[in-house]
Structure 1
Amino acid sequence: MNQFLLNNYLKSPLNYTGGKHKLLKQITPLFPTEIDTFVDLFAGGCNVAVNVDVKRIIANDINTDIIELYEFLKRCASSDVIAQIEDIIDLYGLSNTTKYGYEKYKTSSSKGVGTYNKKAYEKLRRDYNKNPTPLMFYTTLVFAFNNQIRFNSKGEFNTPVNKRDFNKNMKKNLELFIDRLNTLNISFSSKDFKDISISKNSFVYIDPPYLATLAAYNENGGWNEKKEQELLDYMDALDAKGVKFALSNVFENKGNKNNLLLEWSQKYKVHHLDFTYHNCNYQAKNKKADSTKEILITNY
């Protein structure tokens, strides 16, 4: 029988829109108690995958930069990764307030180091876009606004500079995440969800882009009604094979209803969760607590 790490939930080192860290205490008790292979079909920040204790984990995401980062982190010791990130910071002349404080950069904690880092960060970002590597990807995220992952239509990382740098909390979070990866039997893939082979003894957790929202992952037409219908058909096929799944989603956001999902969900079990995304950028103007309520749909 699998046991979920209810008292030791790790937070992803990636600030991924819609990350499920705050929902883990509600989601994981709803998972089956017997799981052989756990498949995280849209892994994103990997908050769910690294917080389940099962025999085998497959974490998939279409974003190759994210998957290559996870594969790199799993091959390395956390101390080595942090040392290499600090080398990049020194190379580009970016701030290190943990080591030197804010006085060195003629600023304060409230003002932050965005002005100081702007030119160096933009060079780092350009260099990453020209020659992307996992370490450059993560270091760029550290100095990106709100540590957000955002690419333009050309596939270039385009988030502006952050007011913070590689502080103690980020270092500790990354260290714990790498150490956890090194204890798990986890493999990574970067495929379209339809191309993932699912065995009958697998449990599939599905946290796709939300059709009803306007998050960064939807801005360039990355998720639409066609994709949504393909996913619903895919889950019906899993159900026909006897494969258990759980889907995270919302029925409505800012008055936009996902009618495809509403109709499809009637044949399965809907769990209403006690959480809304008040602080997420794609719902910042939405003040209705019930309009973006998270749900979990299961076929068991």
Structure 2
Amino acid sequence: MAKKRNKLVMPFLKWVGGKRQLINEIEPLIPTKISTYYEPFVGGGAVFLNRQPKKAIINDYNAELINVYETIRDNVELLIEELSKHKNEAEYFYSIRALDRQEGFDALSSVKRASRVIYLNKTCFNGLYRVNSSGEFNTPFGRYKNPNIINETVLRAVSNYLNESNITFMSGDFEEALKGARKGSFVYLDPPYDPVSKSSNYTGYTEGGFDREEQLRLREVCRRLDSKGIKFLLSNSATPFIKDLYQDYEIIEVGASRSINSVASKRGEVSEVLVRNYE
């Protein structure tokens, strides 16, 4: 009998392209029997934390993000204590934001670095994790009255889940993260999306971006997974380019509201696709 999921295990960060609003479309498509769950672009982890697999390989190119997951698992009480020291003030915000531009940043403890990411995420404009081409966090201060910087209940619930389960965290290339996948595994892929228009090209949560060459490389990885009999489910934007790339598989079009555009009138419902290679 499957272990009951804990509803308090949920995303602790707001992330670009987060899947919370599409969980009801995605969840029924995930196979019930999975030996190992793989998610090579975990981001805010909405699908992973909703599914709560007992065994998983979780990866993201963003090393600071993966450090947050590992710190929640290994040092949640120290993290909560560190988060309580932060102030919701512009001058303080910019001093914390600037740390990754200064010497000694790499010497900061994993707890201080994780605390910094959560604090900036909760207090920055639009709760948007964004880095420049040098990998430096560059979102401005959000001016919220009472941001929920410390959600102790959720952090402890996620920590308990990670400690009770066999979860391996990696920070690197998606292809590397999938090398151990075997038949019986399941792979959920949520890469940076193919831009709907030139102005909407949002790949700023890791340095280096994710262009169409990368989308083509990802499609080749999907073909290899398929040839090994490994089930995958992929999310992306419903552009002609993506629909053409995955025409050999089942494509389900869904709507998701998006709020990362700086122009309010351009936020709202956008079409996305869910691609799968199984019934």
For the aligned pair, the TM-score class normalised by the smaller chain equals 0.7 to 0.9
The aligned residue for residue 155 of structure 2 is: 174
The answer for unaligned runs of 5 or more in structure 1 is 96-116, 252-256
Query: Is 2:104 the partner of 1:121?
Result: no
Q: Is the contact made by 2:8 and 2:154 (CA closer than 8 Å) also made in structure 1?
A: no
Q: Is the contact made by 1:12 and 1:47 (CA closer than 8 Å) also made in structure 2?
A: yes
Aligned residue identity for 2:30:
F
Matches within 5 A, 1:1-300: 5=5, 8=7, 10-77=9-76, 79-87=77-85, 89=86, 94-95=87-88, 117-130=89-102, 131=105, 133-164=113-144, 165-167=146-148, 170-196=151-177, 197=179, 198-213=181-196, 214=200, 216-218=202-204, 222-251=209-238, 257-259=239-241, 261-273=242-254, 275-281=255-261, 284-286=264-266, 289=269, 292-300=270-278
Q: Within 1, Cα distance between the matches of 2:9 and 2:164?
A: 13
Quote the offset at 1:231 in angstroms.
0.6
Q: Within 1, Cα distance between the matches of 2:44 and 2:34?
A: 21
Quote the offset at 1:26 in angstroms.
1.8
Q: Within 1, Cα distance between the matches of 2:258 and 2:120?
A: 26
Instruction: Count matched residues.
Output: 263
Quote the offset at 1:201 in angstroms.
2.4
Q: Within 2, Cα distance between the matches of 1:263 and 1:47?
A: 27
Quote the offset at 1:151 in angstroms.
0.9
When residues 64 and 299 of structure 1 are mapped into structure 2, their CA distance, relative to the original with a 3 A threshold, is: same
What is the alpha-carbon root mean square deviation over aligned residues?
2.6
Quote the offset at 1:121 in angstroms.
1.2
When residues 179 and 171 of structure 1 are mapped into structure 2, their CA distance, relative to the original with a 3 A threshold, is: same
Q: Is the contact made by 1:57 and 1:185 (CA closer than 8 Å) also made in structure 2?
A: yes
Q: Is the contact made by 1:3 and 1:52 (CA closer than 8 Å) also made in structure 2?
A: no
Q: Which has the larger radius of gyration?
A: 1
Q: Within 1, Cα distance between the matches of 2:27 and 2:176?
A: 25
Q: Within 2, Cα distance between the matches of 1:32 and 1:283?
A: 38
Q: Is the contact made by 1:50 and 1:181 (CA closer than 8 Å) also made in structure 2?
A: no
Runs of 4+ in structure 1 off by over 6 angstroms are none
Q: Within 1, Cα distance between the matches of 2:204 and 2:136?
A: 16
SS at match of 1:44: coil
Aligned residue identity for 2:63:
T
Q: Is the contact made by 2:39 and 2:57 (CA closer than 8 Å) also made in structure 1?
A: yes
When residues 205 and 161 of structure 1 are mapped into structure 2, their CA distance, relative to the original with a 3 A threshold, is: same
Aligned residue identity for 1:46:
G
Q: Within 2, Cα distance between the matches of 1:134 and 1:288?
A: 31
SS at match of 1:267: coil
TM-score (norm 1): 0.78
Q: Is the contact made by 2:73 and 2:158 (CA closer than 8 Å) also made in structure 1?
A: no
Quote the offset at 1:46 in angstroms.
1.2
Once the two structures are superposed, residues 65-104 of structure 1 have per-residue CA deviations (whole angstroms, 9 ceiling, x without a partner) of 1011111111023x432112113x2xxxx24xxxxxxxxx
Once the two structures are superposed, residues 209-258 of structure 1 have per-residue CA deviations (whole angstroms, 9 ceiling, x without a partner) of 1112435425965111111110111101110111110001121xxxxx34
SS at match of 1:36: coil
SS at match of 2:46: coil
Quote the offset at 1:147 in angstroms.
2.4
Quote the offset at 1:265 in angstroms.
2.3
When residues 50 and 268 of structure 1 are mapped into structure 2, their CA distance, relative to the original with a 3 A threshold, is: same
The answer for unaligned runs of 5 or more in structure 2 is 107-112
Q: Within 2, Cα distance between the matches of 1:23 and 1:38?
A: 19
Q: Is the contact made by 1:39 and 1:58 (CA closer than 8 Å) also made in structure 2?
A: yes
Q: Is the contact made by 2:14 and 2:127 (CA closer than 8 Å) also made in structure 1?
A: yes
Aligned residue identity for 2:159:
I
When residues 218 and 33 of structure 1 are mapped into structure 2, their CA distance, relative to the original with a 3 A threshold, is: same
Aligned residue identity for 1:296:
L
SS at match of 2:266: coil
Quote the offset at 1:189 in angstroms.
0.4
